[in-house]
A and B are shown apart, each in its own frame.
Chain A
Amino acid sequence: MKKRRPVTAGSVVFDIIIYGLLALIAACMLYPFLNVIAVSISDYSSYLKNPLRILPGKLDFSAFEYVFSSSLILSSYRNTIIITIGGTLISLTLTILTAYPLSKKHLKGKRAIMNLFIFSMLFSGGIIPSFYLIRSLKLLDTLWALILPGTISAYNIILMKNFFSSLPESLEEAAKIDGASDLYILRKIIIPLSTPIIATIGLFVCVGYWNSYFSAVLYIRDQQKWTLQLLLREIIMSANTQLLSSGGNLAEISKDAIPPQTIKYATLIVVVLPILCVYPFLQKYFVKGMMLGAVKG
C-alpha cells in the first residue's frame, strides 16, 4: 500500500533524516555493549591507548580465564541457572493453569477471582511483611526464597488469559462433544496453539529471574547462595577484585597482571551473554505475543 505514495525530493530528504537518526539512536544503544566487549577481550595497554574503542586491540582473554577460575562465579552461575529454570517452569505452569479457567466466559466466580489478582497488582504489603513471611517460612538463605514469591504475576495471567480467549471456541466444543475433559483440552489443544504467548511470557519470566537482584539483596546472606547479579554488584563496587579469588583455584594466572576494570568488564559480559544469546531466537515470538495479548487489554 505504501508503495503507491509519490516519491518527491522532500520525501527523500525526509527518509534520509529518519533513517540517519534511527541509525544514530541504535548506535547509542549498542555502543556501551561493544565498548565493554572490546575492552574485556583486549590487553589493558590498548584500553589506555584508546578507551573509546569498539574494536578489540591486542587480544587478551586472561580476564575471562581469571573469572571462570573463580569458584564463587561458578556457584553463582549455578544458583542463577537453578532459579531461572525452576522459576520459569513453575511460573509458566501456574500461569497457564490459572489463565485457562479464567478465559472461560461462563465460569462462575470468575469475576471475583480476577479481582483478587488485579488487586494484588495494585496493592502490596510492602518489603517488611514480605521479608517477615519468608523468614517465618524458614526460606531465608535458600534459593526457594528467590523462586517462589515471583511465580504468580497478575499481569502475565491477564496476558495469557486474553490470548486464550481469542482462540476459537468451536475447537474446544468439538473436543467436548467427543468427551474430552478440560485438562485434556488444555494439554492437547490450547497449549499447542498458544506457543507465541507461552514463548513471550516465558521469555519475560526467564529474563526476570535471570536479572532479579532485589530479592537476592533481601533474602540471601550466605555467599554460597549468591546469584550472578549479586556477585556482579559486589565486584563492580569493590576497588579490587579480591572477592573472586577467595577459595578459587587461580592456577598460574597472577591477579596483579589483570587490571580490575578488565575483570569487571569480563564479569559483565559473562552475566549478560546468556540473555543476548537467547534474545534473537525468541524475539520473533514476543512482539507478536505482546500484541496479541494486548488486544482488548
Chain B
Amino acid sequence: MIPKVNLDRFFLRIGSCTIYLGVMGSMSAINAKRLQELQTTKPKKKFQSYFLANKWLYIMLIPGLTFLFIFHYIPMYGIIIAFKDFNVVKGIFNSPWVGLENFKYLFKSKDFYIILRNSVSISLLRMFWGFPVPIILALMLNEVRHIHYKKTIQTILYIPHFISWVVIVGIIYNFLSPSTGIVNYIIKSLGGEAIAFLQDERYFRSILVISDIWKESGWGTIIYLAAISGIDECLYEAAIIDGATRLQRIRYVTIPGIASTIIVLLILRSGSILRNGFEQIFLMYSPLVYDVADVFETYTYRVGLREGRFSYATAVGMFQSLVGLILIWTTNRLSRKFGEGGLW
C-alpha cells in the first residue's frame, strides 16, 4: 500500500516536472535574456564575495567617515544659511529664503573691500618676506658638517612651531608694552620715546609678519632639507672636481636640485592667498588697527558671533571658502603640470 502522503508527493513531482519541461520549452525564447542575467549575476556574486573578504576594511572606514560626515559635510550643508534670513529660533529649515540678498549687501559694503585688501596684502607680505627664509635656513643647515651642531640648531629652530599663538602673542604683548616692555626699555635707554607698537597702524603688519617668520620658518626647513637630501651626491663630487667653490656648489647644484620643490610650494602658497588663519590676527589686533588688520576670518567671527548676523557672516565665510577653493584647485593643477604631483 502506498500511503496517501506519498501519492501526493508523487503527483507533486509530476507537476513540477511538467512545469520544468514547460520552462525548458520556453528556454530557447528567453535564452538571450537568461544569458544576460547570468552575466550580471556573476559579477554581483564576485562583488559580494569581495566585500565579504574585505569586510573588516570597510568596517574600519565607518567611524572615520561618520566623523567626517558630521563635522565637515553637515556644516557644508549649513552654508544655505547664507541664502536665508536665518533666525536661531526658527532653525535652518524654517527661516525664509532671501536669495543672494546677503551677497549683494556684502559686495556693496565698504567693509568687504577693506577685508579683501587686508587679507590679500597681509598674505602677500607674509609670502614676500617669509617664503625665502626657510629656504635660506635649509641651505645654511646643509652646509653644517658637525652633525651634533646641526641637530642642536634644528631642535631649537623647531621649538616655536609647537608653541601656541596665545603664548607667543602674550610674550609679544609684554615685550612691546610701552610702560614695562623690554623693547621700549631699549628705545628709552637709547633716548627715544616709547612706542605703542600694537596699537599703531604703521607697525602692526610688520609685527604680524615678523612673528610669523619667527614661529614657522624653522619648521618650514624640514621639507627643503628632505629635498636637499634627495640630491645625488655625485653632482657635488663632479662640482668639486671642476673646482667649484662652496658658494658655487650651492648656486649650481643645491638650488637647482630643490627648485621644483620651491616652485610647487610657492604655487600652493599662492593658492591660499585669502587665508590668513584666525588666531594670530585675532589675538594681536584691536579696534585701533582694524583698518589694516581685519581679515576674512576675524571679520566673519565678529559680525557673526559677536553681532549675531549669522546669515551675513556665513555669506562672508562662503565667499572666502569658494574663492579659496577655486584658487587652490587652480594652483594645484598648475603644480601638477610642474610634475611634482601637487597636494593630492
Report which A residues bind B (CB closer than 8 A).
Answer: 1-2, 4-6, 10-11, 14-15, 18-19, 21-23, 25-26, 28-30, 32-33, 35-36, 51-52, 93-95, 97-98, 100-102, 104, 107-108, 113-114, 116-118, 120, 122-133, 148-149, 151-152, 157-158, 181-183, 186, 207, 210-214, 217-218, 229, 232-233, 236-237, 261, 264-265, 268, 271-272, 275-276, 279-280, 283, 287, 290-291, 294, 296-297
Measured in the bound complex, the distance between the Cα atoms of B325 and A129 in whole Å is 18
What's the minimum C-beta distance from A72 to chain B, rounded to whole angstroms?
A: 16
The residues of A that contact B317 with a CB separation of less than 8 Å are 125-128
What's the minimum C-beta distance from A156 to chain B, rounded to whole angstroms?
A: 11
Main secondary structure of the interface of A (DSSP, over half): helix
Task: Tell whether B57 is near chain A: CB-to-CB under 8 Å.
Answer: yes
The size of the chain B interface, using a CB distance under 8 A, is 93
Task: Tell whether B174 is near chain A: CB-to-CB under 8 Å.
Answer: yes
Residue on B nearest A186 in the bound complex, by CB: B60
A25 touches B157 (CB 8 A): yes
Q: A123-B76, A232-B166 are in contact. Are A264 and B81 (CB under 8 A)?
A: no
The residues of A that contact B155 with a CB separation of less than 8 Å are 280, 283
Q: A97-B60, A97-B63 are in contact. Are A211 and B214 (CB under 8 A)?
A: no
Task: Tell whether B314 is near chain A: CB-to-CB under 8 Å.
Answer: yes
Measured in the bound complex, the distance between the Cα atoms of B155 and A94 in whole Å is 30
Task: Tell whether B222 is near chain A: CB-to-CB under 8 Å.
Answer: yes
A104 touches B57 (CB 8 A): yes
The residues of B that contact A33 with a CB separation of less than 8 Å are 159
A294 touches B226 (CB 8 A): yes
Name which of B30-38, B108-116, B121-129, B140-148 contacts chain A.
B140-148
A236 touches B170 (CB 8 A): yes
A-B contact pairs, 5 of them (CB 8 A): A5-B240, A101-B54, A104-B54, A182-B56, A268-B171
What's the minimum C-beta distance from B134 to chain A, rounded to whole angstroms?
A: 12
Q: Which of B308-344 contact A (CB under 8 A)?
A: 310, 313-314, 317-318, 320-322, 324-325, 328-329, 341, 343-344
Residue on B nearest A259 in the bound complex, by CB: B180
Please provide the 8 A-B residue pairs with the shortest distance between their CB atoms, ordered closest to farther. A129-B78, A125-B75, A126-B317, A98-B64, A211-B164, A182-B56, A101-B57, A129-B75
The residues of A that contact B156 with a CB separation of less than 8 Å are 26, 29-30
Measured in the bound complex, the distance between the Cα atoms of B140 and A219 in whole Å is 44
Residue on B nearest A297 in the bound complex, by CB: B341
A129 touches B71 (CB 8 A): no
Measured in the bound complex, the distance between the Cα atoms of B143 and A21 in whole Å is 12
B170 touches A29 (CB 8 A): no
The residues of A that contact B169 with a CB separation of less than 8 Å are 236
Q: A36-B171, A51-B182, A276-B159 are in contact. Are A124 and B321 (CB under 8 A)?
A: yes
B144 touches A19 (CB 8 A): yes
Residue on B nearest A282 in the bound complex, by CB: B162
Q: Which of B163-202 contact A (CB under 8 A)?
A: 163-167, 169-171, 173-175, 180, 182, 185-186
Measured in the bound complex, the distance between the Cα atoms of B178 and A52 in whole Å is 15
Task: Tell whether B12 is near chain A: CB-to-CB under 8 Å.
Answer: no
A133 touches B61 (CB 8 A): no
B145 touches A2 (CB 8 A): yes
Task: Tell whether B160 is near chain A: CB-to-CB under 8 Å.
Answer: yes
Task: Tell whether B7 is near chain A: CB-to-CB under 8 Å.
Answer: no
Name which of B16-24, B252-260, B299-307 contacts chain A.
B299-307
Residue on B nearest A99 in the bound complex, by CB: B64
The residues of A that contact B222 with a CB separation of less than 8 Å are 287, 290-291
Q: A35-B182, A120-B68, A129-B314 are in contact. Are A108 and B50 (CB under 8 A)?
A: yes
A211 touches B166 (CB 8 A): yes
Q: A29-B156, A152-B67 are in contact. Are A275 and B226 (CB under 8 A)?
A: no
B79 touches A29 (CB 8 A): no
The residues of A that contact B67 with a CB separation of less than 8 Å are 94, 148, 151-152
The residues of B that contact A182 with a CB separation of less than 8 Å are 54, 56-57, 60
Task: Tell whether B10 is near chain A: CB-to-CB under 8 Å.
Answer: no
Measured in the bound complex, the distance between the Cα atoms of B166 and A236 in whole Å is 9
B76 touches A125 (CB 8 A): yes
Q: Which of A30, A113, A236, A290 contacts B65 (CB 8 A)?
A: A113
The residues of B that contact A104 with a CB separation of less than 8 Å are 54, 57
B71 touches A149 (CB 8 A): yes
What's the minimum C-beta distance from A182 to chain B, rounded to whole angstroms?
A: 4
Measured in the bound complex, the distance between the Cα atoms of B320 and A265 in whole Å is 37
Measured in the bound complex, the distance between the Cα atoms of B155 and A109 in whole Å is 41
Residue on A nearest B155 in the bound complex, by CB: A283
Residue on B nearest A236 in the bound complex, by CB: B170
Measured in the bound complex, the distance between the Cα atoms of B54 and A101 in whole Å is 9
The residues of A that contact B344 with a CB separation of less than 8 Å are 114, 118, 158
The residues of A that contact B107 with a CB separation of less than 8 Å are none
A207 touches B173 (CB 8 A): no
Q: A127-B313, A152-B71, A152-B72 are in contact. Are A98 and B167 (CB under 8 A)?
A: no
Residue on A nearest B249 in the bound complex, by CB: A5
What's the minimum C-beta distance from A17 to chain B, rounded to whole angstroms?
A: 9
What's the minimum C-beta distance from B91 to chain A, rounded to whole angstroms?
A: 8
0/1 string, B38-70, CB within 8 A of A gives 1: 000000000100100010111011011101101
A126 touches B71 (CB 8 A): no
Measured in the bound complex, the distance between the Cα atoms of B47 and A122 in whole Å is 32
Task: Tell whether B209 is near chain A: CB-to-CB under 8 Å.
Answer: no
A125 touches B175 (CB 8 A): no
The residues of B that contact A98 with a CB separation of less than 8 Å are 60-61, 63-65
Q: A279-B162, A283-B158 are in contact. Are A126 and B240 (CB under 8 A)?
A: no
The residues of B that contact A107 with a CB separation of less than 8 Å are 54, 57
B143 touches A14 (CB 8 A): yes
What's the minimum C-beta distance from A1 to chain B, rounded to whole angstroms?
A: 5
The residues of A that contact B153 with a CB separation of less than 8 Å are 22-23, 25-26
